[in-house]
Amino acid sequence: MSAFAPGSPPPPLHHAASGRSLRAALVILTVWLAALALRLWLQAHPAIVAAALLATLPALWDFARARRARLTLDDRTLCWRSGPVTGEVALARIDRVRMDTRLDLSVRVRLILRDGTRVPLPQDALPPPHRLHEALVSRGVLVEKHHFALL
């Protein structure tokens, strides 16, 4: 069921995210505590502990910088920004949007333009998939959903 009145244009979709969130902090903290527990209680090899800690460095860097990401969808354009990466596409240029659910349950979104060009949207700029799907469909954009795609 839609949240806007019949006959009226759908409201713009605005989504913003930051690398500095409670979720990011909890994930980083959990991995660091698990690595510490592995070392102290299970006497894990320092290389294993170091590998676990190194895996958190990109998330730690995003958390420290508080990198911002956003996506805006209105009746004419789809705009996004993720750190230094920006993009804008007119809805009239979009043939369809492909939403692939991966094995880790994340959703990858690609715009397939009328000229055949594929434009991936940055993962950190995406709103929840159901919100994006509803906003695209309400604007007449064809959305393809593919579950557990490997590519």
Q: The whole model's pTM is what?
A: 0.72
Tokens of 90: 């007119």
pLDDT (tens place) for every residue of the chain, 151 residues total: 455 556 677 889 999 988 788 888 999 999 999 999 999 999 999 999 999 999 999 889 888 888 889 999 999 999 999 988 899 999 999 999 999 998 878 899 999 999 999 999 998 899 999 999 999 999 999 999 998 756 5
Q: What's the CA gap between 135 and 151, in Å, rounded?
A: 25
pLDDT for 77:
95
Whether 129 is in a domain gets the answer yes
Residue 59 within a domain: yes
Residue 8 domain-assigned (yes or no): no
Residues 6+ apart with CB under 8 A from 115: 93
Is residue 2, in this structure, part of any structural domain at all? Answer: no
Tally of domains within the chain: 2
User: Could you tell me if 46 and 87 lie in one domain?
Assistant: no
Please give the Cα distance from 86 to 70 (Å, whole number).
9
Which 8-state DSSP code applies to residue 6?
A: T
- What was the pLDDT predicted at 9? 74
| CATH code for position 74 | 2.30.29.30
Domain match, 73 and 134 both:
yes
Predicted pLDDT at 26: 92
- Helix/strand/coil (H/E/C) assignment for every residue in 121-132: CCHHHCCCHHHH
